[in-house]
Structure 1
């Protein structure tokens, strides 16, 4: 299997977008959706994490930061679910993912090449930070469309970066 950073970026974007949309669906369709959502995310994130491992030495620090942080956040979510603490679960399943996106996309904006790519990720970081702030102020404010919003501000930027990265590499190369 020939894994490139370009194809890895596409997989991250697809799995994140799809997992958030499934999260929204399960949250509406199932009475107790936490376990289904956790296992959906574990399966979805397994794809880019395993692809990162397959990329091996060709992966840069950014890839490893995202893969490691994603695994840690998923472990935290499973721990919060096992603890059955309502406040911890709410933070873990909602606010944490906005904070995770804010930090991750800020770091990404700092290290990627190309001004359009930097702007894309900086904008996503800012939107995630606003979302985290809204969740901290009133956790019900985004209820009903929170995960659709997360798909748009976390998954879609990675999908938009696929052509931006290709364009940047063509200009430089």
Structure 2
């Protein structure tokens, strides 16, 4: 080994710990900044949402909130029309189980000869509709990503001030 290559290798490796320090518990170098290297593959859903928000700002948020309001209204109407009696039955069984568990007396005892109907409260219906609404996030985000760029392009074409 020549002395010239020895000193070159020594110089390159001498201060390598300042760039990529190796912590005592780990045997791999730790990066100081994640922003220096961009991912080469497809971006994840959260990365695409961040990019959309950086690029279009308040427009992306406004469109997403508008779609969310429409989505929640449709979910609530769906629950209200199709599932009131089933939700009422589940609600009454849960409340009855809690009353038996805590030894609370029910306010009214239904007579055994009349058929029992179940009515759910508006709050229970809203909770079920909110659950459906949250499950539909997989549809809201792509719809927002599809609507925002053409919408902003149209408004920018009309020389409107956008932020």
Greater per-residue helix proportion: 1
TM-score by length of 1: 0.25
Taking CA–CA contacts closer than 8 Å with sequence separation of 6 or more, which of the two structures ends up with the larger relative contact order?
Answer: 1
Larger radius of gyration between Structure 1 and Structure 2:
2
